[in-house]
């Protein structure tokens, strides 16, 4: 495959983070600890793969790293490199033995990770979701970061760096991920995920340029059908009364919670941490389900704003959603825009601590009724 032998990063976008990392690597000025952070939907996966290849590439010419042809690059991307150690709060939790606490498991793991490299000149310690670690586990990590060990380098990933200890943040060189330009994401979806052009376009629009969300949609085409069905139901509810809306809110959340639980949905961004992991699973699932529904809902509301303003061709779901045009023309742009803001507030609440089902009822009340909207 040509992408494997052409040197350079192969993931989509992230030009700032990319040039920061490769520029510093070329000049031999890369910090000992890197922090890759960005919203969950931005998908750190492809960027981290590139970064690991950059760090473990064996090409003698620093400017050609990652060369994508050497064993170091291949093993780094496949995450089987002997000098790559991968951990996360979830892995520490899984690896507990006997009555060991997560913090003790984290300490033990960090100790083992500090061993000497086998083939490379340093060991790469990748810690995913570092911000999901408890304060105690983060303190253990901080100790490891502070140890002067030139044969070890850390790569941390986080969706919310604000949940990391400031002392950890200040020790790390930050690489921030964000949305990818539309055309680049479309090209990447066609090359890497083998989507036909029209589908790649649609997925890029729906995922708002977020590569992680786009990849998840590409790999679960069924989730696109689910999303259209949810949006169709919500459109129909513009003409529905209170009772119908509340019943629909309950059903939509239950259905989405089951999907989120089965793991076949692009994960919405939410406040996952150790305490969330201990919460009643029913609530955690409902929260994940409500976020999935709200994401589809907010996109639908945005499309309605666009249609209501008389610019239908720009609406992202316009070509696939029956009734969008008709509904949008019967709403004022101001009403539609108000509903977007209301839904965004509800989403913020659900991503925080609001009770998912109650929040969905609030969202239903904020959803305009076609009759009133004239
Ligand atoms: Zn290489």
- Name every residue whose Cβ is closer than 8 Å to that of residue 46 and which is 6 or more positions away in sequence: 10, 11, 12, 192, 211, 215
Find tokens 């076949």 and name the residue: 264
Tell me, in angstroms, the distance from the centre of ligand 1 to residue 63's CA.
11
Return the beta strands (E) in the chain as ranges.
33-37, 84-87, 123-127, 152-158, 173-176
What does pTM read for this prediction? Answer: 0.75
- CA atoms 155, 92, 78, 60: torsion sign: positive
Which residues are bridge partners to 36 per DSSP?
157, 175
Cα separation, 101 vs 137, whole angstroms: 10
What integer pLDDT is reported at residue 2 of this predicted model? 43
Cα separation, 251 vs 357, whole angstroms: 10
Cα separation, 2 vs 332, whole angstroms: 50
Tell me, in angstroms, the distance from the centre of ligand 1 to residue 312's CA.
47
Cα separation, 239 vs 244, whole angstroms: 10
Mean pLDDT value of segment 59-67? 94
Rounded to the nearest 5 degrees, what angle is found at the Cα of 60, between the Cα atoms of 54 and 61? 75
- Closest to 154 measured CA to CA, from 39, 52, 46: 52
Tell me, in angstroms, the distance from the centre of ligand 1 to residue 40's CA.
28
Cα separation, 87 vs 137, whole angstroms: 12
Find tokens 């200890």 and name the residue: 165
pLDDT digits (tens, 9 = 90+) for 235-263: 999 999 999 999 999 999 999 988 877 76
Tell me, in angstroms, the distance from the centre of ligand 1 to residue 210's CA.
27
Q: What is the mean pLDDT of the chain?
A: 88
pLDDT digits (tens, 9 = 90+) for 196-250: 998 898 889 888 889 998 998 899 888 888 988 999 999 999 999 999 999 999 9
- Closest to 372 measured CA to CA, from 238, 233, 236: 238
Q: Which two tokens stand for residue 224?
A: 């696109």
Q: How many C-beta atoms surround the C-beta of residue 79 within 10 A?
A: 12
Return the beta strands (E) in 211-366 as ranges.
none
Tell me, in angstroms, the distance from the centre of ligand 1 to residue 120's CA.
12
* Mean pLDDT comparison of 107-111, 213-217, 307-311, 354-358, highest-scoring range: 107-111
pLDDT digits (tens, 9 = 90+) for 149-202: 889 999 999 999 999 999 999 999 999 999 999 999 999 999 989 999 988 988
Tell me, in angstroms, the distance from the centre of ligand 1 to residue 53's CA.
7
Ion ligand 1: residue ranges with CB closer than 5 A? 57, 59, 67, 70, 73
Percent of the chain surpassing pLDDT 90 = 67
Find tokens 């520029």 and name the residue: 23
2-176 has which fold? Answer: Rossmann fold (3.40.50)
Where are the CATH 3.40.50.300 domain residues in the chain? Answer: 2-176
Q: How confident is the model at residue 265 (pLDDT cuts 50, 70, 90)?
A: low
């Amino acid at each position: 495959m040509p992408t494997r032998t052409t040197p350079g990063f192969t993931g989509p976008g992230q030009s700032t983070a990319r040039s920061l990392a490769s520029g510093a690597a070329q000049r031999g000025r890369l910090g000992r600890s890197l922090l890759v952070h960005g919203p969950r939907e931005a998908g750190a996966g492809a960027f981290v793969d590139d970064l690991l290849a950059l760090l473990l590439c064996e090409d003698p010419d620093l400017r050609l790293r990652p060369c994508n042809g050497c064993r170091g690059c291949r093993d780094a991307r496949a995450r089987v490199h002997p000098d790559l150690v991968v951990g996360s709060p979830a892995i520490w939790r899984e690896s507990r033995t006997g009555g060991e606490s997560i913090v003790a498991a984290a300490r033990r793991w960090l100790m083992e990770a500090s061993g000497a490299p086998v083939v490379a000149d340093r060991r790469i310690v990748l810690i995913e979701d570092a911000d999901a670690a408890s304060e105690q586990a983060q303190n253990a990590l901080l100790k490891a970061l502070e140890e002067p060990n030139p044969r070890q380098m850390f790569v941390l990933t986080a969706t919310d760096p604000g949940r990391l200890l400031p002392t950890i943040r200040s020790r790390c060189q930050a690489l921030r991920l964000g949305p990818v330009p539309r055309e680049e994401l479309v090209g990447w979806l066609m090359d890497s995920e083998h989507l036909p052009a029209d589908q790649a376009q649609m997925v890029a629009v729906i995922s708002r340029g977020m590569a992680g969300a786009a990849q998840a949609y590409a790999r679960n085409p069924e989730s696109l059908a689910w999303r259209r069905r949810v949006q169709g139901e919500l459109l129909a509810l513009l003409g529905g009364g209170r009772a119908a809306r509340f019943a629909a809110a309950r059903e939509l959340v239950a259905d989405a919670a089951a999907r989120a639980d089965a793991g076949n949905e692009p994960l919405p961004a939410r406040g996952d941490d150790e305490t969330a992991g201990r919460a009643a699973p029913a609530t955690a699932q409902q929260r994940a389900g409500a976020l999935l529904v709200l994401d589809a809902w907010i996109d639908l509301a945005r499309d309605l704003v666009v249609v209501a303003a008389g610019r239908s061709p720009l609406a992202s779901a316009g070509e696939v959603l029956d009734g969008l045009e008709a509904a949008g023309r019967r709403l004022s742009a101001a009403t539609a825009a108000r509903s977007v803001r209301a839904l965004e507030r509800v989403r913020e609440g659900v991503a925080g601590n609001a009770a998912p089902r109650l929040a969905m009822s609030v969202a239903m009340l904020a959803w305009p009724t076609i009759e009133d909207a004239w």
